[in-house]
Structure 1
Amino acid sequence: MVKKFSMLALAGLIALPAVASASAGKAPSDLEAKIEELSRQLDALKAQMAKQSEVITEYGDRVDDMDEMLEEKGESWDLAARFKFYGDFRARMDYYQADTVFSAGTPLQFPTGFSALAAGTSGGDLKNDTIFTNRFRLNMRVKATENVEFKGRLAMYKAWGMESTPEGIGDMYNNGTAMPIFDGNTTRTPDDNALRVDRAFVNWNNIGGMPIWFSIGRRPTTDGPPAQVRMGTDQRMATPIAYMDYPFDGISLGYAYAWGNEALGTGRIRFCYGRGFENGLLDEAPGSYHIDDTDFAGLSWDVFKKGHRFMNIQSFKVFNLFNYPDFLDLYSEDNLIAPQYGPQDTLGNMYHTTAIYMDKVNNFSYFIAGGWSRTEPDSSGMFNEYDMSLAAILGNGGVPPVIANTDSENGYSIYVGVRYDIDDLGLKIGAEYNYGSRYWVAFTPGNDDLYNSKLATRGNAYEIYMIYDLPTGEAISKYAKTFVRLGWQYYDYNYSGINDWNLKPYDLDDANDLAMLQSLGMNPIENANQIYLSFDVYF
């Protein structure tokens, strides 16, 4: 309407001279009337154009404001988009049944006053019909600069109906199970419903424009190869292989390379250092009691990686190994003595070397791994015995004295596994076996086997499992996986002690060793069955 009116007014102005000429012979009063009418139209046109100008200015300001707002929001959205969040949730049910060396009713005799190792023991087998657990983990990645990236993971792991560690988990001396909760398994053992820091580290990549990186923080050192095969993730989840399953804080310096050979692909080598125990502020007065820091240092070498073909060798040394770590809930007021385990002590050093080769041919995955451990004790000894003679006990206040074993002991392990994928059914079927010798030590306090670390077994461990990918529709995230996992594990122990380097591993088929175990008041596990069913969602 406004445009139409404006065009008419302009046409009138253009036609004004012609009208005046045509009206030259008319009365002056008629001409004046027409001029006045055209003037009014011109004024109206000016007013309309002024109003349109105000409207244009107003909308122009709004557009400018919107541009600024979008620019600001774009910057904030870009900042938010730097953060990548993903995670997983697992609900799991376990059935566990274990046969101990001494059956119910067998008297467990030990000298009066010697209760440190035997506290809470009793004859009889062990069983838990059902234990349910929930585990939730949230991962985060964010870049600070082009070459500096932070990675973190929070984790909650608890048993249904419990706000603490369930009975029988973390009781290594009584029944040979895993260590109580400490820094090396705090997010890997069912406890309360707190969300704790499981991983938190920074990577500085491409240092000097070269394939070199530096990393510092709480390390990604749990569920390493080949754990991804039986856990159903099919992606490497940690730096060290599974024989080193131990959350710790430390640093690494790495170098990546290409073989220049199509069959070998690429490789990486890393120097790693970490701290397993901090001794704190020390009183250096003569005679003051203290133990040393426990540190790890070694190499993790991805010899080659091409597709599914992968080989890794890792070797490290443990300096000033503790007899037991800094348990989180067992200390007396002086913070030096855990009532059940005696005073803390530094025992010496340990060497650990393991290797793995794994590959996948069509739908068939397989791996073979092996390990070697060697103790290097100081005067306190490792794999020690107790003098159970009456004279020695009476001469030591009724407590059997320790016979320190200062000899180096070598341990070995072999670990093999296979898995076949039936893609049309979304089904994967696998089997694993591992063997550990008498003095074998696996650094696996962060294992995911609930009661006993199978890779720490001194004897034989068997496992069969199946993974079924649930038909839950199209994946929304590249991380998405939904599956159930059903498995059975069988532990057949030849020697006592699991993940323990303090007490001598006693032969469970030797009558003299059994008599010694009975006199110590110990009733180790001889064999165990565990059945698990899990529902896993990665998002």
Structure 2
Amino acid sequence: MKRFLAVLVVALLLMPTTGFAVTQEELMQKIQELSQQLQQLKKQMEDLQNQQLQQQADVMDAKESAKEVSKKFSWLTIGGDYRFRLDSLKGKVHEHVGYDRNQTANFNYAMPTATPGVYAVPYSTAVDSYTAKNDTLFLNRFALNVKAQVTENIQVKSRILMYKAWGNDYVDQSPFFADRYVIMDGNLGHVPQDNTLRVDYAYATWSNIFDLPVWFSIGRRPSTGGVPSNIRQNREKVGTAGVPALLVDYAFDGLTLGVAPEIDKLEGAYAKICYGKGMDTGFRPDNDRMKDVQMIGINVVPYDTENLHIEFQWQKAFSIFAYPGNSDPFGLGVDNKNIGDIDWWGTVVTGRIEDIGPGDLNLFASAALSKTHPNDNGYEAPFYDVYIDSNANGRADSGDTLYMQNQTAKYGLLYDDPNFGGEKKSHTGNAIYLGMRYDIKKTGTKIGLEWNRGSKYWLAFTPAADDLWTSKLATRGDVYEAYIIQELPETPIAKFGKAFFRLGYQYYKFKYTGSGFWLGEPRKIDDLNQTDALATQLLKPVKNAQDIYLTFDVMF
């Protein structure tokens, strides 16, 4: 700066006096003012540099603090998801003879008994065919996931869930299908109810036990949304804790003991044995009439990679209940009973073929069998009154003598009361589930098609399935589904950040009654009429149904 001032003074002295008519004192004053201004500028520059250095130091401190916080809480992972859903539902109920919940004897359906002149008059009523619909059903679902790495080999995972309709604290499901009409421990949080947060799963896992490839896990299990149903939901498969969706979509409490040996030719292979309790029936001897409902299963996965997954499972339910819980969901005051056992066998194969055109192709196939082992118990509903033909006109009418009221008929494990033409026997059912999804990488668009079929005696264990009418995988008939997923091109900030829209269409074509229900003989829906009281239906027989749905999912 001194050099600059000297040059400036020389330049001023050399200027012609005619062009610079100032005194020497004024010139020196100007030079001093300019020097002061330069000093101020220098100070401002130094202050600015100091501020920049301080900011850099603050940033470094913040980064170090963030690292410390991250390190301190690295054992804890928090995530979750929010989903808005819009459904337009429409279904056709077939004509039938329905159960009159007012328990009014209908003489039009009077049936002669083995005793001459004595008639059983059932609580039956003729129901015309009609269309049931809900044009716009709006739903909110929110879930919060927490994972805690407690020690090197022990972790706890949990998920809490809220699922409700807009503008109400319940969804009118009507008595169409038991897995929606009946709220049970296995579908809490998965069927729209109120704004209560419920525990979907919460369990602890101990891995690498004694430095062996063995794990033990206990708690409320992650036994919903299993493979391959995760594909249409645009979610990753659960992993070694998951289940085949065609066999199980039911939130239950239990434990697992598993092993994952390293076998070169069987990449990712593992196997596990599972135990669960489907219902605790309370103290003895106060409730000697019922045993606890127990479940066991064996799951074997010989191959598990990103592009190929093969899985086999056998499971058995012992002493299955007539209905879940302690209170009759149909409001008839019927005592609960153990009605038999059920076996299931199933398999699922999923695969991905990469780089077919502009995207990847996901394929899957799943198949299962169910076999019932009924006992003599059943759901013994008040079904008829007994009348004596006192006016001797050869039929029962209101002028006859009422002999007995509220006589029961039994709905057993897939059989009707033998006193009304039913037969107690074991039944085997089967189901198949096929599908594909094509993922276009550049646009984030995913297009899927699915089809599944269940036989007359197919009995699923899937009340927590992500469907509105009923679990499609429990259907005794066919279900077709097409959907398109569009992921949003947003840069994720959250660890699991992702958002997408899903537009889909489901069409149910029911062939037999009682999809997803274990009480009573399934009836061919086309054969139902308004005259056969022996085919009285406790639930409304839907012949076909459709659901047009749109979801907006945000995961974090």
How many Å separate the matches in 2 of 1:71 and 1:469? 35
How many Å separate the matches in 2 of 1:160 and 1:385? 37
Name the structure 2 match of 1:197: 199
Name the structure 1 match of 2:473: 455
For the 8 Å contact 2:97–2:530, the answer to whether it is kept is: no
> Among residues 159, 164, 171, which one is paired with 1:166 in the alignment?
171
Q: Structure 1 length normalisation: TM-score?
A: 0.76
Rate the CA distance shift 1:91–1:203 in 2: closer, same or farther, 3 A.
same
How many Å separate the matches in 2 of 1:117 and 1:496? 19
Gaps of 5+ in 2: 1-60, 107-120, 355-359, 389-395, 397-401, 411-416
Rate the CA distance shift 1:386–1:433 in 2: closer, same or farther, 3 A.
farther
How many Å separate the matches in 2 of 1:538 and 1:211? 32
**Identity over aligned residues, as a percent?**
35
Name the structure 2 match of 1:155: 161
Alignment of 1:418-429 (within 5 A): 418-429=436-447
Could you report, residue by residue, the CA deviation over 1:482-507 in whole angstroms, capped at 9, with x for unpaired residues?
Answer: 11001100110110002111111111
> Among residues 270, 273, 291, which one is paired with 1:271 in the alignment?
273
Question: In the alignment, does 2:359 pair up with 1:374?
Answer: no
Rate the CA distance shift 1:117–1:410 in 2: closer, same or farther, 3 A.
farther
Residue 515 of structure 1 deviates from its aligned partner by 2.8
Residue 401 of structure 1 deviates from its aligned partner by 2.6
> Among residues 200, 216, 219, which one is paired with 2:218 in the alignment?
216
How many Å separate the matches in 1 of 2:325 and 2:378? 20
Residue 81 of structure 1 deviates from its aligned partner by 3.2
Alignment of 1:376-395 (within 5 A): 376-380=373-377
Question: In the alignment, does 2:347 pair up with 1:342?
Answer: no
Alignment of 1:116-265 (within 5 A): 124-163=130-169, 165-168=170-173, 171-172=175-176, 178-236=180-238, 239-243=242-246, 244-261=248-265, 264-265=266-267
For the 8 Å contact 2:208–2:214, the answer to whether it is kept is: yes
How many Å separate the matches in 2 of 1:369 and 1:166? 31
Name the structure 1 match of 2:527: 510
Gaps of 5+ in 1: 1-66
Residue 382 of structure 1 deviates from its aligned partner by 8.9
Residue 100 of structure 1 deviates from its aligned partner by 0.6
How many Å separate the matches in 2 of 1:226 and 1:365? 10
2:73 alignment partner, SS class: helix
Could you report, residue by residue, the CA deviation over 1:352-392 in whole angstroms, capped at 9, with x for unpaired residues?
Answer: 1111011011211111100100011111159999899989x
Shifted more, 183-192 versus 299-308: the winner is 299-308
Shifted more, 231-240 versus 353-362: the winner is 231-240
* Cα RMSD (Å): 3.4
Could you report, residue by residue, the CA deviation over 1:448-492 in whole angstroms, capped at 9, with x for unpaired residues?
Answer: 102211000001111011111112x21113412111001100110
Residue 309 of structure 1 deviates from its aligned partner by 0.2
1:379 alignment partner, SS class: coil
Rate the CA distance shift 1:281–1:413 in 2: closer, same or farther, 3 A.
same
Name the structure 2 match of 1:411: 429
1:441 alignment partner, SS class: coil
Residue 400 of structure 1 deviates from its aligned partner by 5.3
How many Å separate the matches in 2 of 1:425 and 1:365? 17
How many Å separate the matches in 2 of 1:338 and 1:101? 21
1:257 alignment partner, SS class: coil
For the 8 Å contact 1:99–1:526, the answer to whether it is kept is: yes
> Among residues 397, 410, 424, which one is paired with 2:405 in the alignment?
397
For 2:86, the aligned partner's letter is: M
How many Å separate the matches in 2 of 1:259 and 1:389? 68
Q: Structure 2 length normalisation: TM-score?
A: 0.74
Rate the CA distance shift 1:444–1:514 in 2: closer, same or farther, 3 A.
farther
How many Å separate the matches in 2 of 1:197 and 1:228? 20
How many Å separate the matches in 2 of 1:71 and 1:511? 73
Residue 399 of structure 1 deviates from its aligned partner by 3.8
